[in-house]
């Protein structure tokens, strides 16, 4: 049963966009996938939670996190098979763990935590909060951006993840990401 949270083995370089809401992760995921002629894994939670909001007028609750994690890994594992040398992931289970802890008083389901820490990625691109906030039905912490950014950064440091912080405009972020990814691809 827990297999649905596990990352399938692959030789593909995996890069994750990681950081608070409304910091340009999806835009950069699309740009990087286009640049590297590969596929990217969207954030499963966006569609899942938008449907929940549209149908029930409810936001994310703790019991939603495991279905979100399973959906994210299903998409990632399927798209890994279609990727070229690199797979761009708009999120991962570690990000879901961060949101679980931040929203639910430090709590995280043990299964989610296990796979958030076991699944591996080659590079995390931590997106800074220096781009304008864009409101939508799901985003709800515009006044806590710095606090959330620090939580994301602390998490990457705590678990020894390979990451860089992306700041600046879209063009600057894209170029810095490409430079670091190219270094990994040519090792």
pLDDT tens profile 77-94: 999 999 999 999 999 999
Q: Which DSSP symbol is given to 158?
A: H
Q: Are 80 and 87 in contact (CB under 8 A)?
A: yes
Residue 19 banded pLDDT, cuts 50, 70, 90: very high
Structural domains of the chain sorted by starting position, each given as residue range(s) with its CATH number in brackets: 3-186 (3.40.50.300)
Q: What is the structure's pLDDT at 77?
A: 98
Q: What is the mean pLDDT of residues 14-33?
A: 95
- Region of poorest pLDDT, from 23-27, 73-77, 133-137, 179-183: 133-137
Nearest to 76 by CA among 18, 161, 8, 123: 8
Q: Which pLDDT does position 87 carry in this prediction?
A: 98
pLDDT given for residue 42 in this prediction: 97
| Percent of the chain's residues with pLDDT above 70 | 94
Q: What's the pLDDT at 38?
A: 98
Give the residue-averaged pLDDT of 63-88.
96
Average pLDDT score over residue span 97-111: 87
Average pLDDT, integer, range 12-20: 97
**52 and 113 Cβ atoms separated by less than 8 Å:** no
Identify the band that residue 60 occupies on the pLDDT scale cut at 50, 70 and 90: confident
Crossing angle, helix 25-35 and helix 170-185, to 10 degrees? 50
- pLDDT, one tens digit per residue, over 143-171 is 778 999 999 999 999 999 999 999 999 99
How many angstroms separate the CA atoms of 184 and 187, rounded? 5
């Amino acid at each position: 049963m827990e297999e649905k949270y596990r990352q399938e083995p692959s030789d593909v370089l995996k890069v994750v966009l990681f950081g608070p809401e409304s910091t340009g992760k999806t835009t950069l995921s699309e740009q990087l996938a286009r640049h590297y002629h590969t596929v990217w894994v969207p954030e499963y939670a966006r569609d899942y939670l938008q449907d929940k909001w549209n149908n029930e007028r409810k936001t994310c609750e703790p019991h939603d996190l495991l279905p979100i994690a399973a959906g994210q890994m299903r998409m990632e594992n399927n798209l890994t098979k279609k990727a070229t040398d690199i797979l761009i992931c708009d999120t991962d289970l570690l990000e879901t763990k961060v949101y679980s802890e931040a929203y639910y008083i430090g709590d995280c389901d043990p299964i989610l935590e296990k796979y958030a820490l076991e699944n591996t990625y080659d590079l995390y691109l931590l997106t800074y909060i220096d781009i304008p906030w864009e409101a939508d039905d799901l985003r709800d912490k515009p006044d806590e951006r710095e606090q959330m950014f620090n939580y994301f950064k602390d998490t990457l440091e705590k678990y020894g993840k390979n990451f860089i912080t992306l700041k600046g405009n879209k063009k600057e972020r894209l170029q810095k990401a490409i430079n670091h990814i190219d270094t990994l691809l040519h090792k």
